[in-house]
Each structure stands twice: as C-alpha cells, then as structure tokens.
Chains A and B, each alone.
Chain A
Amino acid sequence: MQFVLSSVLNGVAYGLLLFMLSSGLTLIFSMMSILNFAHAAFYMLGAYLAYQISSAIGFWPGLLIAPLLVGALGALVERYGLRKAHRFGPVAELLFTFGLSFLAVEAVQLIWGKAAVDYRVPPSLQGALFTFQGISYPVYKAFMMAVSVGMLLALYAGLAFTRLGLIIQAALSRPDMVQALGHDVPRIFTLVFGGGTALAGLAGVIGGNALVTEPGMAESMGPIVFVVVVVGGLGSLGGAFVASLLIGVLQTFMVGLDWSLIDLLRALHVETQAAPSLTRLSLTQLAPIMPYILMVVILIFRPRGLMGARET
C-alpha cells in the first residue's frame, strides 16, 4: 500500500515533467512539421541557466528568467537557423536540430565542465510535505506537480480563450488561410517555437535539481521524450499526456520491484536452470528499457500511437 501510493505520487510527478517536454515538442511538430531533435538540449540549458541564476540571485528569479532566456534562444534559432534549413526540406531541419543538440552538449561542457553542477532545491522547498503510513513525500515533488499543472492550465487557457491562441490553433491546420487573412504566420511560428522551447526550459529548471544537472541529461531525456510522442501518437497533445503519465508511473513502479522471471516460474512450480542471465533479470534492471519496449509493442499493434491520427 505504501509502495503503491509513493510510486503513484512519484510516477505522476515524473510523468508531468515528461509531459512538459513532450507538449512543447508536440506543439512545435503539429504546427511546423518540425521534429525538434534539440528539444532535450533546451531542457538541459534551462537547468544550467537556472543553476547559474540561482547561485547569483536565488531560485525564484531563476524560475522565471531561465525559461524566458531559453525561449528567446529558441526563437532566435527558429528565426535565423530553422527558417534557412526549411528551404531544404524536413530532413535538413531535423539534421539542423541534431547538429544543435550536439553543439549544445559540447557548449555546456565548455562552459560548465564535464561534471555535474551543484544545482540544489532551495531551502524553502526542502523537507517533507506530509508523512503517511511511514512514507514522507517531499515538498519539492508537490511543487513540481503544481508548476507543471499550473503551466498546463495556463497553456490550455492561452490556446483556447485568447485571441493569439485562436490564431495559433487556426495556423495549426490552415497556415495558408491564416496568412491570407493578414496574420504574420512566420512570426507565429517563431513564437510557437520559442514558447515550446521555453516550456522545455521550465522543465529543466524544476527537473534539473530534482534529478541531476549534468551534460548527459539531454541525452538521457531526449529519447524518452521521443518515445512518449510516438506512443501517444504524433501531433496529439492528449496522447502525449496519457503516454507521459503511463511511462512515468510504469517506470517508477518497475524501479521499485525486484521481481524476475524466475520468481514467476517458481510461483508456478516450474524449476529451470536455463538462461540464468535472462530469467534472473529483475524488473528494476528492465526499467531503463521499458519505454522502448512499450514503443515497440505500440508500433506493432497500433502504429499510429494511442491517440494519433492515421498516417496519410
């Protein structure tokens, strides 16, 4: 019971963090048909900038400034890089963002070194929020969830109820028509790209100190975010949400369970000595590849993802 509760709470916090990343990726993809390979690099930059700002003027200003800086950088990348690459087609765009992600990792190593930096949870958010049946839940996890949910509600409200949000929604499906009505669609694209990368930056700010801020963080997060988007269905925000929570909770559960195949066989009264390296593999050990296995299963049985549109 304790295990289930703590796993669900931790899993949801992790899943929401994944969704902050995958939502930006999905928005950018469905609007501009660009798969931003460097998305996790912006997440990493958010964490590093937050570390730099928080060590100078504190965590709270960093929470605001770092995502804005990352978003501004994203907008610059779109305006002066992606727009140029766009002329050469989607593969060039993808390769450009691939080159950027490579450069970002190297730049971070140049500036902050190869080791992890000491980016910590601020003292005001340390400690346990509540203790229930012997498990204590940290304040910071709750804070992470609050920021994610708040940001998502703001995003939803912004897209659904503001004038700009309506224009963005219209530009999602019929950019040419929106252009014809006199809106500056390229500028909307820049805005969306900047917004999406700012979301990734925010995820970095609140995730960098909960996990670890190091040059490898983009490479470890990037593929999982891609898996989330594929499992959820490309271009579907709802699908990305479900897939984020699913992967977050599943992975957290698996990390805590050391069941292995041999336990199952013993429970079924089957004795075997065959392939010990396979039968003794525990769920904990399998946790890192769980998202990929899920992706393979989804691709075989439902290639368009949980909520994706049929491929045209």
Chain B
Amino acid sequence: MRALFARSRLIVIAGYLAVIVLAPLVSPKGYWLSLLCQIGIATVFALSFNMLLGQTGLLSFGHAVYFGLGAFATIHLLRAMQAGSWRIPVTLLPLAGGLAGLLFGVALGYVTTRRAGTTFAMISLGIGEMVAASSLMFPAFFGGEAGVSSNRMTAPGWFGITYGSQLQMYYLIAAWAFLCILGMYALADTPLGRMANAVRDNPERAEFVGFDPQWVRYLMVVLAGFFAGVAGGLNALNYEIVTAETLSASTSGIVIMMAFVGGIGHFAGPIIGAALITVLQIAVAAVTEAWPFYFGILFTVLVLYAPGGIAGIFAEHKRLFDTGQLGPALRQYLLKLLPFSLCAAGVITLVEMAYALANTTERGSAPLHVFGVTLNAARPVGWAPPVIALVVGVLLLRLISRRLSAKSERVLTPLMERA
C-alpha cells in the first residue's frame, strides 16, 4: 500500500484521473463520447484478462465468459427491478456484474485451474465454448438471437442522476473503470499478486516456499472473473442490451488482442491496447471491410517481432535512450522504412484486390482504388505489381537484417557470452 501512494505513482494516477475526467471535453460529438465509453469498458476487461496472462502466466481463450455472464446478470437485475417494486441504484449495479463474474470464477475456475500452461489454454477454450453453446440452449435466460434488453433509467442513481444522458453514463463508466484499475494495480503489489508472479515464473519454487500454485491460480482466476464481470455490467448498462455475442469466442479473441498488442509485460499495456484496438476497429472498419484481416496481420507480426507489445517497444527504446543507443537504432529504422513500406503496400493491395474479386459476383465489379491508383482485380496482370513489391520488400528486409545482425553480432557476442 505504501508503494501505491509513492509520490511518482500518485502523479501518474492523478494525471490519468485528469485525462479521463477531461476527455469528454475534446469533442462535443456523440460518437466521441460513445467511443470513450467503449474504451473505458474495454480497459477494465483487458486489464482483468492480463491479471491472468501477464501476472499469472495463464493464457485464457474463454475470458469472455465472465464478461458476458456479468453482463447478463446485470441486465436481468435491471429487468427484475422494472417488474418489481424494489430498487438498487444503477450506480451500484456493475458490482452485481462483478459478483456474478466472481461466482462463475469460483465454479468454473475450479475446473480450469486443475492444469496450468498450455492445457489451461485448451480447457479455458472448452469451457468458453460450453458456455457459448449453452447460451443457445437456454433462450429464456440468454434471450436467443435477439438478446436481453432493458432500460437503465428504471432505477436512478443518487443525487437525482438518472443516467439518461450518455455523458452521465460516461462518468459512471469512468468512475468504475478508475476504481477497478486502482484495485487491480494495488492487487499486483499484494502478497497474492507477488505469488502469482512467482507461480508464473517458477511454480516449483513457489510450491517450495509453501504456496500451492493451483490455489494461487484459482484465486487469480476468481478475482479476474470479478473485474471482467464489472466490465460486463458496465457494458450491459451502456448498451442496455446484452446478446450471446458478449460471451462468444470472438469476444475472448478480441481481449487477447487488446492485451497483447498493448503489452502484457507492463501494467499499463492493456490500457494502451484497449484504447488502440477500439479506435482502430472503428477507424479501419470505416475504410475497408477487410479490417479483421489487417488486425490478424498486426497481431501476428507483433507476436513474431515485438512480443512485448507497444508498452514493450516503449520500454525497449527508453532503455536504448538511457544507454545512448537510440541514434543507431533510429538509423536502422530509417534504412528499413522503404522496404517495409513496399511490403505493407504489397500486402494491402493484394488483400484489397482479393476482397474486390470475392465481391464482384455480388455487386458487379466496382473499380478499386488503392493508394490513389485504380486497379482491376479481374485481370491477372493486375496482380503482378503488388506481388513484386512484396517480394522485393521482403528480400530487401532480409538483406538489411542480415547485414545489421552480422555487424551487431561482432559487438554483442562477447558481451552475451560473458553474461
């Protein structure tokens, strides 16, 4: 706790608080506010996911289960209040989602944490599929295709706040998100958080110190379930409708991408990832219909070349800056910029052409504009330039990397061997 309130951390926390309080002032437009709401919810969800992957070393392919069940619990509570005479202020309702996530964490986590490592990943996927498939079997609870909807103005909050406007909803999300982030941040510093790190790094030694790794994993899954449930509850209140999609495999997949792209090795990583992926989802989807493909490429390239995500890239360059190596590194990037752009242009053109070709039968062949050039995907000749660009780009990148690594090996190998 003392560490939490150290001065440098207080400054960061106060700065973050100022950002989320002032964010709605940036633009008066409605979509800006709804974007902020989405980012807030995604942040809590992605951080709760990273309690497992980043802190405990558990890769879950079914984290949406807790998010979705928290959302369904919240919306059903809201409906029950609509029908009955009792009221719980909406301000507190996300807590109900959290409790639902916690309870399902207690039940399902008992099964998933029986094994660690890759087996955990498979089991979490199985449990996720089980819950998703059940949602089609119990339409009374999950609402079938249409989902379950309600009205958040049924039970007003305190001080006459009705949550009728999106701005009030944003501040509800911001407040809960801030509390959850603080909670998860503090949790990482508790003995449990530290033991989770130990279990991640070396379960045998953790056991040797006297802690049961399975129990530590179980506790972390339960707590992560709570925070995911809060995020789900906020989601239910924000949209006033919950569908089976919220607990599907695609929701679980998106949260993996958010946490990983942002960086699982740093606490702030998933916050960055949640904001970036949410913005990209909207921005890229507006430009091209093939946006999931670009997401897949971004994700796969990051896994191969920057497994620390964006936060990791920042940390790496700060280290380079501190040791005075940033200049040479930047020069390398400049050298690689042209071949990299060639690759990117080639891939984007190919994807857009494939997409245009796949859609020609449905809409007639619409002319395709990529980088200001009109292309015809139906002619085989049209495919040559992007393929050539891609091949030349890859070859150049390999050539440059090989030259550079040969150079750095001469410098680094003696150092590495000593280490």
Partner of B292, one of A95, A106, A227: A106
Q: Is there a chain A Cβ closer than 8 Å to B166's Cβ?
A: no
Q: How far is the CA of A106 from the CA of B125 in the complex (A)?
A: 20
Q: How far is the CA of A120 from the CA of B123 in the complex (A)?
A: 34
Min CB distance, A244 to chain B, in Å? 15
Size class of the A contact interface (CB-based, 8 Å): 35 or more
Among B75-83, B127-135, B189-197, B407-415, the one that faces the other chain is B127-135
B111 touches A103 (CB 8 A): no
Partner of B303, one of A85, A106, A110, A311: A85
Contacts of B367 in A (CB 8 A): none
B134 touches A303 (CB 8 A): no
Min CB distance, B354 to chain A, in Å? 5
Partner of B59, one of A29, A95, A229, A295: A95
Partner of B290, one of A106, A113, A295: A106
Q: Is there a chain A Cβ closer than 8 Å to B179's Cβ?
A: no
B118 touches A35 (CB 8 A): yes
B115 touches A311 (CB 8 A): yes
B114 touches A94 (CB 8 A): no
Q: How far is the CA of A311 from the CA of B203 in the complex (A)?
A: 13
Q: Is there a chain B Cβ closer than 8 Å to A76's Cβ?
A: no
Q: Is there a chain A Cβ closer than 8 Å to B140's Cβ?
A: yes
Q: Is there a chain B Cβ closer than 8 Å to A226's Cβ?
A: yes
Q: Is there a chain B Cβ closer than 8 Å to A107's Cβ?
A: yes
Min CB distance, B54 to chain A, in Å? 10
Q: Is there a chain A Cβ closer than 8 Å to B171's Cβ?
A: no
Contacts of B122 in A (CB 8 A): 35, 226-227, 229-230
Partner of A110, one of B133, B293, B300: B293
Q: How far is the CA of A85 from the CA of B57 in the complex (A)?
A: 17
Q: How far is the CA of A95 from the CA of B119 in the complex (A)?
A: 14
Contact residues of A: prevailing secondary structure: helix
B299 touches A102 (CB 8 A): yes
B304 touches A85 (CB 8 A): yes
A230 touches B129 (CB 8 A): no
B296 touches A285 (CB 8 A): no
Given contacts A91-B59, A102-B253, A285-B137, contact A299 B300 (CB under 8 A): no
Contacts of A58 in B (CB 8 A): none
Min CB distance, A196 to chain B, in Å? 16
Q: How far is the CA of A286 from the CA of B57 in the complex (A)?
A: 33
Contacts of A99 in B (CB 8 A): 296, 299-300, 303
Closest to B117 in A: A90
Q: How far is the CA of A222 from the CA of B125 in the complex (A)?
A: 10
B296 touches A106 (CB 8 A): yes
Min CB distance, A73 to chain B, in Å? 15
Closest to B118 in A: A35
Contacts of A226 in B (CB 8 A): 122, 125-126
Contacts of B126 in A (CB 8 A): 223, 226-227, 230, 291-292, 295
Min CB distance, A223 to chain B, in Å? 4
Q: Is there a chain B Cβ closer than 8 Å to A98's Cβ?
A: yes
Residue-wise interface mask of A (67-94) relative to B, using a CB-CB cutoff of 8 A (1 in contact, 0 not): 0000000000000010011001011101
Q: How far is the CA of A109 from the CA of B357 in the complex (A)?
A: 11
Partner of A223, one of B125, B260, B295, B300: B125
Please give the residue numbers on chain B whose beta carbons come within 8 Å of chain A beta carbons, in ascending order: 53, 57, 59, 61, 111, 114-115, 117-119, 121-123, 125-130, 133-134, 137-138, 140-141, 249, 253, 256, 260, 290, 292-293, 295-297, 299-300, 303-304, 307, 351, 354-355, 358
Q: Could you list 24 A-B pairs, sorted by A, with CB under 8 Å?
A: A35-B121, A91-B59, A95-B59, A96-B304, A99-B300, A99-B303, A102-B253, A102-B296, A103-B296, A110-B355, A110-B358, A223-B125, A223-B249, A226-B125, A230-B119, A230-B122, A234-B119, A277-B141, A296-B111, A296-B127, A299-B111, A299-B115, A303-B115, A311-B115
Besides the known contacts A88-B303, A95-B59, A311-B119, 7 further A-B residue pairs in the complex with CB atoms under 8 A apart: A90-B118, A95-B303, A96-B304, A103-B296, A112-B358, A227-B126, A230-B119
